[in-house]
Structure 1
């Protein structure tokens, strides 16, 4: 008789982005207001407190090698992943988009009413990683900087 394994506790703890120029990317995320942690890593890797999962930055080629994936060709188009910056109001969405663009982000899509009753727009970081800036029904942003989902 086989012993049934207890499933591990699922958790998403770090989102690591492969970047072309870590110095530029560190400066960009600091300019957006994310708090850098573990600065002793220098420019080998960078970690930021986001109020939820940690955001990591790692040189693209080294991240690919670490995961045993090909570094080339790098996709120049959508990679099937977006990051989200949830907001409490439509005005906050507009302010975040303007702020990010002012810090060097590329505006991908201006803020607009969504078909699900929300309001969102998109910007891209220096490596083209897309961020949705959004206020959405059923998703509340708490004072703890975390999102709280309706049941």
Structure 2
């Protein structure tokens, strides 16, 4: 198996709310849009973010867990400067996101903040000034 990820798939409660948030609010473009079923968005050169209506998701992969708290993972969007972190968080807030952790300087040298999408999935917006940070920028 090659060392790569092709899709990140998220089950969403309200696909239309996700469409409004990602396409209208953040200004992203759909690669595939099947109303009521799935919305796919190019998130990298060889990576798609796939937002599935929860019922369609469960029909294919099985029941999802629900309950208090958040999913135990984050999605990250890295940018070149701390100012871009603030700008992306402002864009997300304008699109309706809940900013769950304002941007701040981290002990490891980076500058990051978090927002939640319509389903509460956490996005980290980060400036990572280390050589590793440069590997994920376009």
Shift of 1:103: 0.4
Runs of 4+ displaced beyond 4 Å: none
Aligned residues: 133
Which residue of 1 is the match for residue 5 of structure 2? 12
Shift of 1:51: 2.4
CA distance in 1, matches of 2:134, 2:3: 22
Which residue of 2 is the match for residue 56 of structure 1? 50
1:106–1:125 CA contact under 8 A, matched in 2 = yes
CA distance in 1, matches of 2:67, 2:78: 26
RMSD: 1.6
Unaligned runs of 5+ residues in structure 2 are none
Cα deviation code 1:92-140 (max 9, x no counterpart): 0000001101100001000000010000000000100000000112212
- Structure showing greater radius of gyration is 1
Shift of 1:21: 0.6
Q: Which has the higher helix share?
A: 2
Q: Which has the higher strand share?
A: 2
Shift of 1:33: 1.9
What TM-score, normalized to structure 2?
Answer: 0.88
